[in-house]
Amino acid sequence: MTQGLELSKNKVEKGVVTEALPNVLFRVVLDDNGKETMAYLAGKMRMHKIRVLVGDKVEVEIDPYGGKGRIVRRL
């Protein structure tokens, strides 16, 4: 059985949350290249009420078209 992350065409990167913004948005600095990006919380994380705080390490799915990222896991 395959996982949802393997079926996704978006690339998954690790990063650190630097700022929490309104409407479940976060600023995340990516570990690989040091770029800062905006990311929103995935629906399953909202549904299970998983908290993400400033300083948390997270996995972010990056949209290939340059939009916002989606936080899919808290590490």
Q: Whole-prediction pTM value?
A: 0.83
The pLDDT tens digits of the residues spanning 13-51 come to 999 999 999 999 999 999 989 999 999 999 999 999 999
User: How many structural domains compose the chain?
Assistant: 1
Q: Look at the alpha carbons of 3, 37, 55, 21 in this order and tell me if their dihedral is positive or negative.
A: negative
The rounded radius of gyration (Å) of the Cα atoms in the chain is 12
Measured distance CA(37)–CA(35) in Å, rounded: 6
CATH number at residue 42: 2.40.50.140
Of the candidates 2, 9, 14, 7, the one whose C-alpha atom is nearest the C-alpha of residue 72 is 14
Domain that holds residue 59: 4-74
Measured distance CA(28)–CA(26) in Å, rounded: 6
